[in-house]
Structure 1
Amino acid sequence: MSSRILLIDDDTDLCHLLIRYLENEHFVVEVTHDGHQGVALARKEAYDLIILDVMLPGLDGFLVLEEVRKISAVPVLMLTAKTESTDKVNGLRAGADDYLTKPFDVEELMARVFSLIRRYTTLNGQPQSSGSRLSFKGLVIDRDTRIVHVRDEPIELHAKEFNILFYLASNPGTILTKQQIYEEVWQEPYAYDDNNIMGYISKLRKYIEADPNQPLYIQTVKGVGYRFNREV
């Protein structure tokens, strides 16, 4: 079955170009030029990837992303004409999985599309082993449903948050550097964006820790990285 992509961008020329490239690779592409319509489609249909422009009329890309993350962990690749690094950081912290600044090379975009869809379908595929469900005191992480139960309450994390948590929890007691975490989750060379990883860890602690200031599960190893507590 072909992967389905939702393209949300008001640049019609760019959309025509991307549609041609994506359909040549046998993706099924649905397009809208409006943020509100994009949210409506994301609520109604299931997609394997959303390509989302930041600068949209009516409802901008960050607000669209916020609405999408309420209902889905589908990977989101954000596009923007802005060059400020804060926009990239804000987009990633808001739940985007990857980010490209216009103008970009279409071949680079295609490489990122393949990477995001491959990781998403792998992590959401058929049960692979007994290791697909990790249980700790007060915390259960289910890779098959991508739902985390914290003190018996279900919570849904967006894709990057879940992948980071599952990676850490799959290696309890092991110190994992920021580089290791980045290359495992992002599946690309380390970008030396420590603040980005720290932001995700901070959000995870707010979700799963009884006291984020004194974390039980995700422990900081100063100057090195993070370790999931093997004693829980």
Structure 2
Amino acid sequence: MENKPYILVVEDDKPIRNFIIAAIDSQGYRYIETSKGNEAIALSMSNNPDMIILDLGLPDIDGIEVISKIRDWSSVPIIIVSARDNERQKVEALDKGADDYLTKPFGIGELLARIRVSLRHNVKNKYNNNDIIDNFKVKDLLIDFNKRRVTIENEEIHLTPIEYKIMSLLCKYSGKVLTHNFIIHEIWGTSLGSETQSLRVFMANLRRKIEKDPAQPEYIYTEVGVGYRLIDE
């Protein structure tokens, strides 16, 4: 039990907090809970959790501020659970450093799946930060970074230099939602603007090359109005 991940749950709605705790307890995860943002910041410093599940609408300070303060010193995975479904607020939370965003109401299965992905990504970051990743594989997609070779079902596909850079970025953060602004900054070194349409075009081209049915993607998912996410399992 001692080796199980330790999760900080920050939610002021007690029934929802109990729902989340019941879900993570069913998997044997350890947890600590609070209903306030300032206490969440203190608990994250003193308890060093493996993950934080955070509501944005807290009674003392806004969840966005909690993210900003924790990101000053920690890269712990943060999953937002919020009734706010405004795209601007989702983008703000992700740009401030949240790793994922679940809109209430949500099911236990989806919550646990997002937790597994974030925990797995965090483990990879801890142990592979100084390593060069040779390849990335998910389902039938394989990327050999040494050879700059991308294959689907063992069939090589050709990517342009920009498409390859985008694909590599998605692989690096697989399972995590990357906002349009983050991708554009990493690929073109600019902020949202003239490159927004370019990103849409490149993503459409990528999908045509790697997806059996681009309208029903298996690998690259669109988070409407927010960004893109490459599957991690």
**Residues 129 and 34 (structure 1), Cα distance of their counterparts in 2 relative to 1, 3 Å cut:** closer
Within 5 Å, give how 1:19-168 maps onto structure 2: 19-125=21-127, 131=132
C-alpha contact 1:179 1:192 (8 A) present in aligned 2? no
Corresponding position of 2:216? none
Letter in 2 for 1:97: D
1:195 to partner: Cα distance: 3.7
Structure 1 unaligned regions, length at least 5: 133-167, 206-211, 214-220, 226-232
Letter in 1 for 2:183: I
Letter in 2 for 1:78: I
**Residues 201 and 54 (structure 1), Cα distance of their counterparts in 2 relative to 1, 3 Å cut:** farther
C-alpha contact 2:57 2:82 (8 A) present in aligned 1? yes
Letter in 2 for 1:185: Y
TM-score by length of 1: 0.63
1:200 to partner: Cα distance: 5.8
Structure 2 counterpart SS, 1:6: strand
- Structure 1 residue aligned with 2:180, among 169, 172, 194? 194
Corresponding position of 1:178? 166
**Residues 128 and 179 (structure 1), Cα distance of their counterparts in 2 relative to 1, 3 Å cut:** closer
C-alpha contact 2:9 2:32 (8 A) present in aligned 1? yes
Letter in 2 for 1:131: I
Letter in 2 for 1:44: S
- What is the number of residues matched between the two proteins? 171
RMSD between superposed Cα atoms in Å: 3.4
- CA deviations 1:163-211 (Å, max 9, x no partner) are xxxxx9xx7xx642535533541337xx895344225668xx6xxxxxx
1:129 to partner: Cα distance: 7.8
Identity of aligned residues (%): 27
